[in-house]
Structure 1
């Protein structure tokens, strides 16, 4: 089985197949979601101390914080960087 990994900034990656949503961190519902995940021990901070710009929600209930804009992460899911199609942001991992 092959897994597709997506860069979310600063050398951090998530499994593409486990992501169900990528949302802006500035909205009130996003802030509430972040606090609930923190209280449940399901918050992963991948910002390296930078400003949180996106929340990545996984199918297992984890919320991953990223300093990368949601639009940029979405383009990486589609295989684009800087408007051109390429496979650079993807890594394939076989256990």
Structure 2
């Protein structure tokens, strides 16, 4: 039994700011936090224990949704996080 994992078996971790990392393959959407529906989603996630606050006390600039229904708050702009995820999803991207 081979216990060594190859680099392709390991998830690519994406920085969402201030030393916090998220598995890039698990992120399904990145949105801005300003609208009323996003505020409601944030409150619902907090109530159900699915909210992860990765802002380190700073202003929330993006909300990430994962395939496990977790909601992650980040102090990094959505465009910046998307640019960190995109190379992973492109064919021949980061390995």
TM-score using structure 2 length? 0.81
Listed as ranges, the gaps of 5+ residues in structure 2 are: 1-8, 88-93
Give SS of 1:3's match.
Answer: coil
How far does residue 78 in structure 1 lie from its aligned partner after superposition? 2.1
Q: Which has the higher strand share?
A: 1
Q: Which has the higher helix share?
A: 2
Question: Which structure is higher in RCO with an 8 Å CA cutoff and minimum separation 6?
Answer: 1
> Which residue of the other structure, out of 64, 82, 93, is the alignment partner of 1:74?
82
Give runs of ≥4 in structure 1 deviating > 2 Å: none
Which structure has the bigger radius of gyration?
A: 2
Alignment length (residue pairs):
82
Let me know the Cα RMSD of the aligned residues: 1.6
Listed as ranges, the gaps of 5+ residues in structure 1 are: 80-86
